[in-house]
């Protein structure tokens, strides 16, 4: 694995951890280095061109199904040890996992993540990331891979926070959004451009329901 760990007491990670503790979510507009963002975007497009991304399902286990009226993105789950670019991303996420475990005592044991490509017009209706029958997902993390994205391109992540109006995140390359998986309902608005991201979940130990 190409080394891309950062110390778990790095100021950027501490800021995220503090935000999570104080209000359950964090947005860092400049998180991923630009070179890595571009490489990951290229890797996502390459995999899409090779037909490796598939329509995402709703739900989990034997009850999952493809429903484009709910979510229209195409995804591919990441495996470690395939390409350096993805391993760099996984290394950074592992540093974040350590930082959260140190200060928040969440007992996060692993991280599952996928590339996501939303074709123009695709969306993901309002939902919560934790499954009804599986409560292992504790913290959601989305990183955007889009070059020169403008608000008028749409594709915002709309977060329904407990207080005030919904908060919209423009999916600009390098931006990271982190939130407690069971606490923040959210949706992805349709865009006029192809929209790329890496979405992942930090999980605690639990019993596999199936
Ligand atoms: C998800 C999701 C948000 C985004 O995949 O569950 O809500 O902005 N993604 O891509
Ligand atoms: Mn979600």
Interval 106-157: pLDDT, tens: 899 999 999 999 999 999 999 999 877 778 999 999 999 999 999 999 999 9
11-59+70-204 in CATH: which number? Answer: 2.60.120.620
C-alpha 158/C-alpha 70 separation (Å) is 15
CB of 199 within 6 A of ligand 1: the answer is yes
Residue 204 has pLDDT above 80, yes or no: yes
pLDDT at site 205: 86
**Ramachandran quadrant class, 192 (left: phi over 0; alpha: psi -120 to 50; beta: rest):** alpha
Mean pLDDT of 79-100: 96
Q: Where are the domains of the chain?
A: 11-59+70-204
pLDDT at site 210: 52
**What pTM, to 2 d.p., does this model score?**
0.94
Measured at the alpha carbon of residue 21, what is the angle toward residues 18 and 27, in degrees to the nearest 5?
60
Q: What is the phi/psi pair of residue 86, to 5°?
A: -70, -35
pLDDT at site 93: 97
Ligand 2 centre to CA of 60 (Å) is 13
What percent of the chain is predicted at pLDDT more than 90? 80
pLDDT at site 121: 97
Question: Please, which pLDDT band fits residue 61 given cuts at 50, 70 and 90?
Answer: confident
Question: Please, which pLDDT band fits residue 3 given cuts at 50, 70 and 90?
Answer: low
- Given the structure tokens 């209000």, which residue do they identify? 23
Nearest Cα residue to atom 1 of ligand 1 = 199
Ligand 2 centre to CA of 187 (Å) is 7
Give, in order, the Cα–Cα distances in Å from 48 to each of 59, 64, 155, 161, 207: 23, 22, 19, 33, 33
């Amino acid at each position: 694995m190409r080394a891309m760990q950062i110390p778990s007491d790095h100021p950027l990670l501490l800021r995220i951890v503090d935000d999570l503790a104080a209000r359950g979510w964090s947005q860092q507009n400049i998180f991923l280095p630009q070179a890595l963002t571009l490489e990951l975007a290229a890797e996502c497009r390459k995999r899409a061109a090779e037909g490796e991304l598939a329509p995402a399902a709703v739900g989990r286990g034997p009850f999952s199904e493809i429903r484009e009226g709910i979510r229209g993105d195409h995804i591919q789950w990441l495996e470690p040890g395939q390409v350096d670019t993805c391993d760099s991303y996984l290394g950074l996420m592992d540093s974040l996992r350590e930082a959260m475990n140190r200060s928040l005592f969440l007992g996060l044991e692993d991280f599952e993540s996928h590339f996501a490509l939303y074709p123009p017009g695709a969306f993901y209706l309002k939902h919560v990331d934790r499954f009804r029958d599986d409560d292992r997902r504790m913290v959601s993390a989305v990183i955007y891979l889009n070059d020169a994205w403008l608000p008028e391109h749409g594709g915002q992540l709309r977060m329904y926070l407990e207080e005030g109006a919904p908060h919209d995140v423009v999916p600009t390359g390098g931006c990271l959004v982190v939130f407690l998986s069971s606490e923040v309902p959210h949706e992805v608005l349709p865009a006029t451009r192809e929209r790329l991201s890496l979405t992942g979940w930090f999980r605690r130990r639990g019993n596999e329901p199936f």
